[in-house]
A and B are shown apart, each in its own frame.
Chain A
Amino acid sequence: MTIKKKLTIFIPLVISIISMSLGAFFVWFLFNNEFNSASRNLQSVSMLKAESINNYIDDSENYVANLGASSVFRDLLKSLRGSSDYSVKKNLADTRINRILSTNSSLSGLDLIDTEGVILDSNDKTSIGKNVSNQEYFIEARKKTYIKEAYNLVSTPINDDATGKFLGIAVTRLSPGYIEKFATDIGVGSSGEVFLINRAGYFLTASRYLGSSVVLTKQISTDNTKACFDPNGQTQKTGFGRVFFFNDYRGVPSIGTNAYISQTDWCLITKYDKGEFYAPIYLLIEITIVGVIISAIFTIIVLELLSSRFVSAITKLQKGVEVIENGNLEYKLSMTRTDEIGDLSRSFDKMIMSLKESRAAIDTKVAEQTEEIRRKSDETKRQQMAILNILEDVEAEKNKASQERDKINIIVQSIGDGVVVLDSKMNIILVNRKAIEISGYSSSDEILSKGFNKVFRFASESDPKVPKNDFITKALTEGVNTEMTSRTVLTRKDDTTIAVSDSCAPLKDKNGSIIGCVVVFRDVTKERAIDRMKTEFISLASHQLRTPLTAIKWLLEMLLGGDAGTLTSSQTEYIKNISLSNERMIALVNSLLNISRIESGRLSVEPMPTKLPELVTNTIKEVQSKANEKKIEIRFEADPNLPTVNIDPKLIGEVYLNLLTNSVNYTGTGGVVRVVIGMNSTQIVSQVIDNGIGIPENQKNRVFERFFRADNAVKFRPDGTGLGLYLIKEIVEASGGNMWFESTEGKGSTFYFSIPISGSLPKKGEISLT
């Protein structure tokens, strides 16, 4: 709602309400006033009138009483009718009556009545002689003064002054209309009237509105008249009633009061029309209403004008604000009014100015901040990049470390011995697969949760139930590598025990303090196989066979060495022979062992980088003395580009030895044995060439057979097991090479064997060559 509307509705409304309230108040006030004054008026009139009526009645009574007491009348009443006395007296009475009536305007008639009720005298001569004994005014007046209403009669007893004897009654008639005076001379407003009624409700005086015809003819009963005669009412008690509103005998709403004339049991009604009473009040109400309306209209008009002016000013402000809201800070209201709105507009303009300024300041600030933010953002980006780089590096390092860890883990896991890494408190840090396997568990979780002592129950074989971990504690405390004492067993998860060999090496940090240890152990059940070997035929056999041969060999040696004294030449001869046979036996046992090993696949090949020329040279040394005996020359040539090759030197050495020995053995005096080593792209080929007895053509195919000796060989040299070539061929083949020969009987032989340049593959065997 606009201001205008607001103003033009609310303010007039408020004013109207106020005015009406005031008006209502005034009306009420006036009403009260009016009522009070009306009441006073009415009541005073009522009282006055009642008073005057009472006075009049009293006066009348008195007067008549006086009259009654007059001697004249008394005399008349005393005198007897028909006597002369009587007529005199009557004349006197006449005179008196005339005199009274002429002097009292209020009286219009006078009667004298005797005790019988006969009118003895009156101003109305016609009534003389009438009997009025039945009249009330006669009957009542015998006792006291009686006022007969409406007839305006006042009758009074006349008593003898000396005796008090009732003589008669004097009756006076009041001038008619006297009382009417009261009725008309009212002073109670323009519609007011005053009248008398008797108890029965008959008008005793004329009604202003209905005329005098109502006297003693119309009977009325109104609230007012009722109140007057109400035995409990105020009027009966005090003689004067309240002022109140009632409907009069016409039915017209009136305001009036009553007064009681007790002497005559009359009621004096004083009233006037309610309308007349209310007239000023109604007037005031009208005025008020009109005034309200006028003031409301006036106010509306005024407000219209005022508000228009203000509202337009405000609208102007509002428009200004809108413009500025839209961003145009150049706008100025520039109102020239001097009132508050003008002030406001000037303040507004000032505000806009400062707003502009601050806006400019803000813009600058914002630009600065933006720049700052951009800078910071760039910096942050750079830092982010740097951090990312670092993170990447860290990630890479982590990966490397983790890879290293994985590598180490793989290595540790793949170690063929059980490895358990402990910290200085003997908590298990790492356990590898073999350790799990050996100890009989199935997973590292099982072990890690149990703790070292529960899992790895090392003990001495003699006391398997008593845990013995000194080798570990020693490593941890003294920092030395240790091994378990005596025969050690490990009790596995299933409570079986196995023989283990083990050691413990302390772990030290870079300061040299002990931070833990590495326990390495292996199942040496195999190594303890020596005991097994006791039951193994070949080992047993070879060992059993060799043992006595050893004693024989050495004793013979000692004999020959003179340890038991000097020997004769024949003793020496015998012993030499024995020795030879012994050696043969030894050789045989050796060969048998070798063969059995080769045949059982238990020969081990342990390749290592070997310089073949060196190997050959050493081998040649071994046969050199024998060669020298037979004056055989041994020559050696090797390709200068020969690489170091991975071969088992024991095995290949044996090959060279065997070939050289054969060559030396089966070549005659002054022969030549040559060793040649050459190579091609894939193989190293060695040749042992001799000019010895050669191999018969028809026996060449049996040369590599076990125990085979060619006929010419047997003849040339009775000794020989026939196992050598078989053996070395097996060796060469086991080493990844091949063996073959060329030979001409009587001319010589060349034995070839090849070894791959890549070397021999390692072969795990239980035994190596003997």
Chain B
Amino acid sequence: MNKILFIEDDIPTGNVYKDKFSKNYDVLWATTGIDGVSFAVRQKPEIIILDLMLGGDLNGFDVLRELKLHAETQKIPVIVLTNLEAQEAAVKEAGAVECFIKTNTSIDKIEDVIQKYLK
């Protein structure tokens, strides 16, 4: 099964991810940027779903940058799901392949996107 790493600090949202995707994917869920990076490095998921507004030392951008620096994680496509406005350009510049506003995106759409990048 493909591994998807979700880096998300909001518990309900993370639970939704878990519920939605555990069936078909190996779901990894980190609630802080640091955990996210270390999961990514160690577990090398196929896809990373990243929230921007993370608590702790690293925010989403930092995570993105970190991921791009580590050889293990450089190539993993990162899809940013955020509720922050106007981040698309910035995140794409930081290395994300997609950026969606959570409230404007259906969970199915998200799955489609995941599928797309798994290929």
The finding on whether chains A and B are genuine partners in a shared complex, rather than unrelated, reads yes
Binding site for B on A (CB under 8 A): 462, 482-487, 501, 527-528, 530-531, 533-534, 539, 542-543, 546-551, 553-555, 557-558, 561, 563, 586, 589-590, 593, 597, 604, 606, 765-768, 770
How distant is the Cα of A255 from the Cα of B83 in the complex, in angstroms? 169
Task: Name the residue of chain B whose CB is nearest to the CB of A597.
Answer: B85
Tell me how far the C-beta of A307 lies from the nearest C-beta in chain B, rounded to whole angstroms: 121
**Residue of B52, B61, B108 contacting most chain A CB atoms (<10 Å):** B61
Check if B103 sits within 8 Å of A534, measured CB to CB: no
Check if B20 sits within 8 Å of A558, measured CB to CB: yes
Residue B114 is within 8 A (CB to CB) of chain A in the complex: no
Type the 1/0 row for B19-58, where 1 means its CB is closer than 8 Å to any CB of A.
Answer: 1100000000000000000000000000000001100011
Tell me how far the C-beta of A642 lies from the nearest C-beta in chain B, rounded to whole angstroms: 27
Task: Name the residue of chain B whose CB is nearest to the CB of A543.
Answer: B83
Partner of A542 from B52, B62, B83, B88 at Cβ < 8 Å: B83
Residue B3 is within 8 A (CB to CB) of chain A in the complex: no
How distant is the Cα of A641 from the Cα of B101 in the complex, in angstroms? 36
Chain A to chain B contacts (Cβ below 8 Å), 9 pairs: A482-B69, A486-B62, A533-B84, A534-B53, A546-B103, A563-B19, A589-B103, A767-B85, A768-B86
Q: Taking chain B's interface residues, is the majority helix, strand, or loop, or is none over half, making it mixed?
A: helix
Q: Taking chain A's interface residues, is the majority helix, strand, or loop, or is none over half, making it mixed?
A: helix
Check if B102 sits within 8 Å of A550, measured CB to CB: yes
How distant is the Cα of A606 from the Cα of B89 in the complex, in angstroms? 11
Given A487-B57, A543-B84, also A563-B102 (CB < 8 A): no
Taking CB atoms, residues of chain A closer than 8 Å to B66 are 485-486
Taking CB atoms, residues of chain A closer than 8 Å to B88 are 768
Given A530-B60, A563-B20, also A557-B69 (CB < 8 A): no
Partner of A557 from B57, B65, B108 at Cβ < 8 Å: B108
Check if B61 sits within 8 Å of A542, measured CB to CB: no
Taking CB atoms, residues of chain B closer than 8 Å to A546 are 83, 101-103
Given A487-B62, A530-B61, also A770-B85 (CB < 8 A): yes
Tell me how far the C-beta of A543 lies from the nearest C-beta in chain B, rounded to whole angstroms: 5
Check if B59 sits within 8 Å of A551, measured CB to CB: no
Check if A530 sits within 8 Å of B68, measured CB to CB: no
How distant is the Cα of A732 from the Cα of B11 in the complex, in angstroms? 40
Task: Name the residue of chain B whose CB is nearest to the CB of A534.
Answer: B53
How distant is the Cα of A542 from the Cα of B61 in the complex, in angstroms? 19
Tell me how far the C-beta of B113 lies from the nearest C-beta in chain A, rounded to whole angstroms: 14
Taking CB atoms, residues of chain A closer than 8 Å to B106 are 553-554, 557
Given A483-B69, A543-B53, A547-B10, also A527-B102 (CB < 8 A): no
Check if A550 sits within 8 Å of B103, measured CB to CB: yes
Residue B97 is within 8 A (CB to CB) of chain A in the complex: no
| Interface residues on chain B, size class | 20 to 34
Check if A561 sits within 8 Å of B90, measured CB to CB: no
Tell me how far the C-beta of A524 lies from the nearest C-beta in chain B, rounded to whole angstroms: 8
Check if B86 sits within 8 Å of A530, measured CB to CB: no
Check if A558 sits within 8 Å of B90, measured CB to CB: no
Check if B10 sits within 8 Å of A531, measured CB to CB: no
Given A597-B85, A767-B85, also A554-B20 (CB < 8 A): yes
Check if A487 sits within 8 Å of B58, measured CB to CB: yes
Check if A530 sits within 8 Å of B59, measured CB to CB: yes
Taking CB atoms, residues of chain A closer than 8 Å to B2 are none
Check if B69 sits within 8 Å of A485, measured CB to CB: yes
How distant is the Cα of A546 from the Cα of B12 in the complex, in angstroms? 12
Taking CB atoms, residues of chain A closer than 8 Å to B20 are 554, 558, 563
Residue B118 is within 8 A (CB to CB) of chain A in the complex: no
Taking CB atoms, residues of chain B closer than 8 Å to A550 are 10, 13, 16, 83, 102-103
Residue B115 is within 8 A (CB to CB) of chain A in the complex: no
Taking CB atoms, residues of chain A closer than 8 Å to B61 are 527-528, 530
Check if A551 sits within 8 Å of B13, measured CB to CB: yes
Tell me how far the C-beta of A519 lies from the nearest C-beta in chain B, rounded to whole angstroms: 16
Binding site for A on B (CB under 8 A): 10, 12-13, 15-16, 19-20, 52-53, 57-62, 65-66, 68-69, 83-86, 88-90, 101-104, 106-108
Tell me how far the C-beta of B84 lies from the nearest C-beta in chain A, rounded to whole angstroms: 6
Check if B83 sits within 8 Å of A554, measured CB to CB: no
Taking CB atoms, residues of chain B closer than 8 Å to A597 are 85-86
Taking CB atoms, residues of chain B closer than 8 Å to A483 are 65, 68-69
Check if B104 sits within 8 Å of A586, measured CB to CB: yes
Check if A590 sits within 8 Å of B19, measured CB to CB: no
Taking CB atoms, residues of chain A closer than 8 Å to B83 are 542-543, 546-547, 550
Given A485-B69, A530-B60, also A547-B86 (CB < 8 A): no
Check if A548 sits within 8 Å of B12, measured CB to CB: yes
Taking CB atoms, residues of chain B closer than 8 Å to A586 are 103-104
Tell me how far the C-beta of B42 lies from the nearest C-beta in chain A, rounded to whole angstroms: 17
Taking CB atoms, residues of chain B closer than 8 Å to A539 are 84-85
How distant is the Cα of A368 from the Cα of B89 in the complex, in angstroms? 84
Given contacts A554-B106, A768-B89, 18 further A-B contacts (CB under 8 A): A483-B65, A487-B57, A487-B62, A530-B59, A534-B53, A539-B85, A546-B103, A550-B13, A550-B102, A557-B107, A558-B19, A589-B103, A590-B104, A593-B85, A604-B86, A606-B89, A767-B86, A770-B85
Tell me how far the C-beta of B70 lies from the nearest C-beta in chain A, rounded to whole angstroms: 8
Tell me how far the C-beta of B94 lies from the nearest C-beta in chain A, rounded to whole angstroms: 8
Taking CB atoms, residues of chain B closer than 8 Å to A604 are 86
Check if A530 sits within 8 Å of B57, measured CB to CB: no
**Residue of A528, A554, A767 contacting most chain B CB atoms (<10 Å):** A554
Task: Name the residue of chain A whose CB is nearest to the CB of B63.
Answer: A486
Partner of B107 from A530, A534, A558, A767 at Cβ < 8 Å: A558
How distant is the Cα of A546 from the Cα of B85 in the complex, in angstroms? 11
How distant is the Cα of A93 from the Cα of B4 in the complex, in angstroms? 215
7 residue pairs, one from A and one from B, having the closest CB atoms: A767-B86, A546-B83, A551-B12, A550-B102, A554-B107, A586-B103, A768-B86
Check if A531 sits within 8 Å of B13, measured CB to CB: no
Tell me how far the C-beta of A498 lies from the nearest C-beta in chain B, rounded to whole angstroms: 15
Taking CB atoms, residues of chain B closer than 8 Å to A590 are 103-104
Taking CB atoms, residues of chain B closer than 8 Å to A487 are 57-58, 62
Taking CB atoms, residues of chain B closer than 8 Å to A765 are 86
How distant is the Cα of A558 from the Cα of B106 in the complex, in angstroms? 10
How distant is the Cα of A770 from the Cα of B66 in the complex, in angstroms? 27
Taking CB atoms, residues of chain B closer than 8 Å to A547 are 10, 12-13, 83, 102
Tell me how far the C-beta of B40 lies from the nearest C-beta in chain A, rounded to whole angstroms: 14
Tell me how far the C-beta of B25 lies from the nearest C-beta in chain A, rounded to whole angstroms: 14
Given A487-B58, A530-B84, A543-B83, also A558-B16 (CB < 8 A): yes
Tell me how far the C-beta of A478 lies from the nearest C-beta in chain B, rounded to whole angstroms: 11
Task: Name the residue of chain B whose CB is nearest to the CB of A582.
Answer: B103
How distant is the Cα of A745 from the Cα of B104 in the complex, in angstroms? 33
Check if B107 sits within 8 Å of A770, measured CB to CB: no
Tell me how far the C-beta of A291 lies from the nearest C-beta in chain B, rounded to whole angstroms: 137
Given A546-B102, A586-B104, A768-B88, also A554-B16 (CB < 8 A): yes
How distant is the Cα of A766 from the Cα of B66 in the complex, in angstroms? 24
Tell me how far the C-beta of A671 lies from the nearest C-beta in chain B, rounded to whole angstroms: 28
Tell me how far the C-beta of A667 lies from the nearest C-beta in chain B, rounded to whole angstroms: 25
How distant is the Cα of A549 from the Cα of B102 in the complex, in angstroms? 9
Partner of B85 from A482, A501, A542, A548 at Cβ < 8 Å: A542
Taking CB atoms, residues of chain A closer than 8 Å to B104 are 586, 590, 770
Task: Name the residue of chain A whose CB is nearest to the CB of B70.
Answer: A485
Taking CB atoms, residues of chain B closer than 8 Å to A555 are 16
Taking CB atoms, residues of chain B closer than 8 Å to A770 are 85-86, 101, 104
Taking CB atoms, residues of chain B closer than 8 Å to A561 are 108
Tell me how far the C-beta of B6 lies from the nearest C-beta in chain A, rounded to whole angstroms: 13
How distant is the Cα of A563 from the Cα of B15 in the complex, in angstroms? 14
